[in-house]
Chain A
Amino acid sequence: MISDKYEKKIEAADLLPKTKDQLRTFLDGKDITDAQFKEILDRVIKEYLSTRIEACEAVGVIAAQSIGEPGTQMTMRTFHYAGVAEINVTLGLPRLIEIMDARKEPSTPTMTVYLEPEYGVDRDRAREVSWQIEAAPLHEFGDITTDMENMQVVVHLNSKVCEKRKISPAEIMDVAPKKIRDRRHYRDFEHDIDEAKATLIFTPKDRESYQNLFQLAEHVRNVIVQGIDDILRVVVRKETGEYILYTEGSNLKDVFDVAGVDVTRTRTNNISEIAQVLGIEAARNAIIHEAQSTLNEQGILVDVRHIMLVADMMCMEGEVKQIGRHGIAGEKESVLSRAAFEVTVNHLLDAAVANETDELSGVTENVIVGQPIQLGTGDVKLVAVKQLDN
């Protein structure tokens, strides 16, 4: 242990918590004199201060360069398969663009569902949870025949499959007609339930044409009776000693409601969904995580601070804003700065109509009009105090 007087000095020093911890681990068990300790602490502080960004530094430009340059090295189009299970995920440049554009829905939404300990250790129990999540159409639960003579669609449920999937035939027979009406918006039919035989009979309202019958049969075959509609596929994999579910499709809110799902770790790659369900701070974390893992996956190492800055800017206003003319760049105060970015004429015209003024406080505006910019030494104002001579 480090003695109390040193501990107090470390705690009082103007250092980051992480640096303090590193210093503590370094000093732990070492026999040092007071003079040595002072020397070490002074040098650590000096080193820390030299790594800090200086006031008036253009951090945004540096971040843009630091992410943009390695971005040119990325593969244009890559598809990645999560192991043998073949879950397709967009990666590389398209994914990075997707994150920065703050799309409402990523092109390949996917979730990583962690399970509660009692479910996570056992493959069969993990499979049980996956059935509650994976969307299963009715035709997987039994035989569906189109009876053309009597103009009806007959569903004969297979009790073995139902038992294996932990859902009762009665539940399926109750859910299926409702779902066809509510989810698939097809209402021109009537249905009969035969509990004893586990049979469900659908008849179209208009029995004149076979087209209606076939249309109905199509709806009956594909109606989702178990699982969450948005989640097309679930793959169970064992990683670091526990079973994890990977999904194709994403619905954070509904997955959180499934029994056995660990609600503290389960995540999705859909950032706007995270912002909605978990809040803006979680979205900020998700942007950092997604952007960094996309870059790292391609072997590109970008300092987190640049990504953190981008994520901070995107999440400043309480919702996720894209980087571009519909987001951060489009909401700048200055007319000239906005006009310099994209769609110049529109911005100038709108500004003229609205009688806008430009305060000339930013960088771009001042470059345009040829004044010193407010960055670095340009941002420092000198104030002279006049000496009174009496």
Chain B
Amino acid sequence: MSTKLNVLSHVMVPDHQLMSEEEVSALLSRYHITTEQLPKIYHDDPAVKVIDAKVDDVIRIIRKSHTAGRAEAYRLVIRRPKK
């Protein structure tokens, strides 16, 4: 892939941030969930590679929402299943 392309700078890609362990546990206790219940993202996703997240990390995604203006979403990094 070209050197000038940073996927996070593309208008269609929202900001991805790696969450610390404290942030993750705060998130989980706030919604009373386990990490397994979060939406997933594959470990070889271009945006995951840019922020250098590993499997089992949780990523905070800050979307420009059509309704709310700004919305946070969370995804758990998982390994892409082999076909």
Contact = CB atoms under 8 A, between A and B. Distances in A.
A62 interface: no
Which residue, A263, A276, A280, has most C-beta atoms of chain B within 10 A? A280
Contacts of B19: none
Interface residues of B, number: 31
B42 A319 contact: yes
A104 to B, nearest CB: 14
A66 B7 CA distance: 33
B67 A16 contact: yes
Given A256-B5, A281-B61, A282-B7, A318 B41 contact: yes
A89 interface: no
Interface string B11-26: 1111010000000000
- The majority secondary structure among interface residues of chain B is loop
A336 interface: no
Contacts of B4: 256, 263
Nearest to B46: A279
A18 B71 CA distance: 10
Interface in A246-293: 253, 256-257, 263-265, 267, 274, 276-282, 285-286, 288-289
A18 B13 contact: no
B30 interface: no
A304 interface: yes
A267 B67 contact: no
Contacts of B80: 318-319
Contacts of A19: 69
Nearest to A285: B12
Contact of B45 (A16, A264, A267, A279): A279
Contacts of A319: 42, 80
Interface residues of A, number: 33
Contacts of A17: 68-70
* A19, A267, A285, most chain B CB atoms within 10 A: A285
A2 interface: no
A281 B16 contact: yes
Nearest to B68: A16
B24 to A, nearest CB: 18
Given A281-B16, A318-B41, A21 B69 contact: yes
A305 B67 contact: yes
Interface in B6-51: 7, 9-14, 16, 39-42, 45-48
Nearest to B78: A318
A55 interface: no
Nearest to B13: A282
B31 to A, nearest CB: 13
Given A279-B45, A279-B46, A281-B13, A263 B68 contact: no
Interface in B52-74: 61, 63, 65-70
Contacts of B13: 278-279, 281-282, 285
Given A279-B47, A308-B66, A318-B40, A285 B5 contact: no
Contact of A277 (B46, B69, B78): B46
A18 B69 contact: yes
A368 interface: no
A316 interface: yes
Contacts of B65: 18
30 contacts: A16-B68, A16-B69, A17-B69, A18-B67, A18-B69, A256-B1, A263-B2, A263-B4, A264-B9, A265-B10, A267-B12, A276-B46, A277-B7, A277-B46, A278-B12, A278-B46, A279-B7, A279-B48, A280-B42, A281-B13, A281-B14, A281-B41, A282-B13, A282-B47, A288-B66, A305-B67, A308-B66, A318-B40, A318-B45, A318-B75
The 8 A-B residue pairs with the shortest CB-CB distance, nearest first, are: A18-B69, A279-B47, A17-B69, A318-B40, A282-B12, A16-B68, A318-B42, A304-B66
